[in-house]
Amino acid sequence: MNPNLIYVALISKGDGVRVVVFVGEKARDKVKAGSIAKHVSVQLGGSGGGDDRFGQGGGKFRGKTKLALLSVEDLVRKSGI
């Protein structure tokens, strides 16, 4: 509902982590959901992608979830949002 929203969820699934990303309409001018999903998934030892609005992916390195989330915060700050 919030056009400035950037939502990133890391969901523990089996031996890995699932990544789900949603980016609101106004925030898409600065950052794309597919890019965030790919960025996080690579850090988790996997892959991801998507479009401007919705991205998904995953990885197998559950121990790197905190580092991956911190890197998303840094990515969003650098985008100017």
CATH number at residue 68: 3.10.310.40
C-alpha–C-alpha distance, residues 63 and 61, integer Å: 5
pLDDT digits (tens, 9 = 90+) for 57-74: 999 999 999 999 999 999
* CA-CA-CA-CA dihedral for 72, 75, 80, 81, to nearest 10: -10
Residue 76 vs residue 9, higher pLDDT: 9
In-domain check, residue 1: no
Number of domains in the chain: 1
% of residues, the chain, pLDDT over 70: 100
The boundaries of the domain holding residue 75 are: 6-79
Q: Nearest 5°: phi and psi at 57? A: 180, -155
